[in-house]
């Protein structure tokens, strides 16, 4: 296995990592590795697949489609 030294970690970031390691019952080193694995192995989302999944969910929930007119209307009504 390789070693990695990280210098100049902001205090807030280190403390957050330390808290997270404590919650997960891991060492800070193991938690840092877990965080790196998680962020580096994240899969890219296929936009077409994401939109198809979202449309299917909106259909099951009987929500209106998210077209330009619907979005414009929602903005005018003050909804995000």
Total domains in the chain come to 2
Q: Is 35 among the domain residues?
A: yes
Q: Is 56 among the domain residues?
A: yes
Q: Which of 40, 37, 34 is nearest to 17 (CA)?
A: 34
For residues 52 and 31, state if they share a domain. Answer: no
Q: What is the pLDDT of residues 13-29, one digit of tens each?
A: 999 999 999 999 999 99
Regarding predicted confidence, which is higher, 65 or 73?
Answer: 73
For residues 18 and 36, state if they share a domain. Answer: yes
For residues 57 and 36, state if they share a domain. Answer: no
Quote the tokens at residue 18: 């330390």
Q: Is 3 among the domain residues?
A: no
Q: Is 36 among the domain residues?
A: yes
Instruction: Work out the percent of the chain whose per-residue pLDDT is above 90.
Output: 48
Q: Is the pLDDT of residue 39 over 70?
A: yes
Against a cut of 0.85, is the pTM above it?
A: no
Q: What is the pLDDT of residue 80?
A: 55
Q: Is 64 among the domain residues?
A: yes
Q: Which residues constitute the domain of residue 32? A: 11-40
Residue 40 and residue 17: Cα distance in Å, rounded?
17
For residues 35 and 54, state if they share a domain. Answer: no
Contacts of 70 (CB under 8 A, 6+ apart): 64
The three-state secondary structure class of 64 is coil
Residue 55 parent element (H or E) = helix 47-60
Q: Is the pLDDT of residue 42 over 70?
A: yes
Residue 35 and residue 13: Cα distance in Å, rounded?
12
């Amino acid at each position: 296995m390789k070693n990695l030294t990280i210098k100049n970690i902001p205090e807030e970031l280190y403390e957050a990592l330390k808290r997270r390691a404590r919650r997960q019952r891991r060492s800070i080193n193991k938690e840092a590795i877990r965080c790196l694995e998680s962020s580096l192995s994240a899969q890219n989302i296929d936009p077409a697949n994401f939109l198809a999944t979202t449309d299917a969910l909106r259909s099951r929930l009987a929500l209106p489609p998210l077209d330009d007119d619907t979005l414009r209307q929602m903005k005018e009504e003050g909804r995000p």
